[in-house]
Amino acid sequence: MTRGADVTGSLWHRGPEGSGKASTGVSDREWYGPAPVSPPTAPSSPPSRLPPPAAILRTLHRELQAVELADAEKARARLTAVRIALPTSGLSTELATRLDTALAEVIAMPRPRVTSSLADAYEDASLSIGAALPRLRPVNVSRSLVHVAVGVVAIVVLRLGDERTILWTATCALVSVWLLEGARRVSGRWRARVDTALAATAHSFERHAVTSGTWYATSLAVLAWTLDAPAAAASVAILAAADPTASYFGRRFGRHHLGPQRSVEGSVAFVVAGTLAASGAFALFGVVPWGVALAMAIAGALGELSSVGRVDDNLTIPLAAGLAAGLLG
């Protein structure tokens, strides 16, 4: 047998310190050879920690806000990553399954976009964990058309009606919408009826909050009672035209963010469209104060930016524009 190796060719392992020297006079390392190398072991991974449900919902909201700006394949990859993380998100099995099904539907689209079923599942998940998360606002053409149509009707009333007619119309609308809101709060049957009637135009979060239509009517009533007809009409025109225009341009071209759901591109589009709409409304009354129209549009854009949280922009936009008209008038 050769020193340092056995018949199989494996190296001898190191014995007790000094044992080789005592018997042969050669060093331990030379006699016994190097110590055997232990087989590699996989590094122990730290115990996995489930992310809080709010974390996955915030990630989902961020990806859905960017989905219409991203390349379709990139959007699918990002949403797929969120979908994979759902089972370990901490959400209930029912909510995770609903989100998974809705995400699968979105991912399968040629051009992914936020659907009403996904917005519903997201809102219910947000409510289930009691977190004040950003709201989802999917594209809704019917809602935009109704938004513009209500503004046009209000402007016609302001242009053709006398002061008494204007105030009575605005007050009756205000009382009616708030009575419906009260009925939704105290009666499940009325809530179901109102929600069904508004299903085609309302966002998912409005099932559990004051509807945007209620805030719209409230702002119209405030304008009718506090401003003259031309300024009120210009404020309504900004809300009716600039708000949906900003939404479209922000979703389609917005890459420089001013905050959640707001972008430089959308705000610029708001100011341009708002200035033109306000000028057109003023023209119906025989005046075109471009400077005032521009100032009102800028104020309206600032009102929209301030509504990022839970304040509805159907209230902040016309009131901000009307305040600018009052200060400059």
30-83 pLDDT, tens digit each: 444 444 444 444 344 344 444 468 888 888 887 877 776 667 788 888 889 889
> In this structure, is residue 168 part of a structural domain?
yes
Question: Are 317 and 265 found together in one domain?
Answer: yes
Question: Are 8 and 156 found together in one domain?
Answer: no
How many H helices and E strands in the chain?
Answer: 15, 2
Range of the domain at 107: 53-129
Question: Are 115 and 158 found together in one domain?
Answer: no
Give the bridge partners for 191, in sequence order.
none
> In this structure, is residue 59 part of a structural domain?
yes
> In this structure, is residue 41 part of a structural domain?
no
Question: Are 5 and 96 found together in one domain?
Answer: no
Question: Are 147 and 284 found together in one domain?
Answer: yes
pLDDT, tens digit (0-9, with 9 covering 90-100), for 201-251: 777 777 778 888 999 999 999 999 999 999 999 999 999 999 999 888 887
What DSSP string runs through 252-274? HH--SEEETTEEHHHHHHHHHHH
Q: Which of residues 90 and 242 earns the better pLDDT score?
A: 242
Question: Are 149 and 251 found together in one domain?
Answer: yes
Q: What are 284's two structure tokens?
A: 């119906």
Question: Are 24 and 100 found together in one domain?
Answer: no
The answer on pLDDT for 17 being more than 90 is no
Residues 163/256, Cβ–Cβ less than 8 Å: no
| Number of structural domains the chain divides into | 3
> Rounded distance, CA 39 to CA 321, Å?
74
Question: Are 267 and 317 found together in one domain?
Answer: yes
Residues 224/232, Cβ–Cβ less than 8 Å: yes
Residues 307/318, Cβ–Cβ less than 8 Å: no
Global pTM value: 0.70
Looking at mean pLDDT, say which of 120-134, 162-176, 187-201 comes out highest.
Answer: 162-176
* Sign of the four-CA dihedral 250, 251, 255, 260: positive
Question: Are 19 and 64 found together in one domain?
Answer: no
Question: Are 178 and 229 found together in one domain?
Answer: yes
Which of 129, 161, 179 represents a domain boundary (last residue)?
A: 129
Question: Are 112 and 218 found together in one domain?
Answer: no
Packing angle of the helix pair 163-186, 188-197 (nearest 10 deg): 130
* Phi, psi torsion values for 186, nearest 5 degrees: -105, -10
Question: Are 88 and 164 found together in one domain?
Answer: no
